[in-house]
Structure 1
Amino acid sequence: MQTNEASQESEIKQVIRSLCMMNNRFMNFMLDDNKEAAQVFLRVILGDDKIKVRNVRIQSFIQNIYGHSS
């Protein structure tokens, strides 16, 4: 059982390491309906600790099986 848990934990860490802030799915998941996370993110990126986030709306994704998605 320990080996399976260690293997699963290793896989999870590998997925986390592969994520970056430019990954749409990761950022959508992280910021969706999470004003606090968006506020911290923007304060760090922009170097302004006075930023107040009022509302968070993630981008919409339209799947197109016949061509490019948008």
Structure 2
Amino acid sequence: MVAKVLESDIGLKPCPFCGGFELHIETDSEPTSTVQVECDTPGCEASGPHGKDADEAARLWNRRAPADRIGKRPL
């Protein structure tokens, strides 16, 4: 099931890959119900981590690496 949402509805940051705001919340019902944010920008179609609900999916989507860690090896 797809639930279209506006970025302003739940405070989503733009797609970290393309910068687009064409985003939606996708709910997967099989085998367990999980939710994730997906980008609908043509040519991108990125998806975020799975959460247990829309709020968790949005929080996980909005998570970004600290600026001082970008391009560096994991700690």
TM-score of Structure 1 vs Structure 2, range by shorter chain: under 0.3
Name whichever structure is richer in strand by fraction.
Answer: 2
Question: Highest CA radius of gyration, 1 or 2?
Answer: 1
TM-score normalized by the length of structure 1: 0.24
Name whichever structure is richer in helix by fraction.
Answer: 1
Name the structure, 1 or 2, with higher relative contact order (CA <8 Å, separation 6+). 2
TM-score normalized by the length of structure 2: 0.23
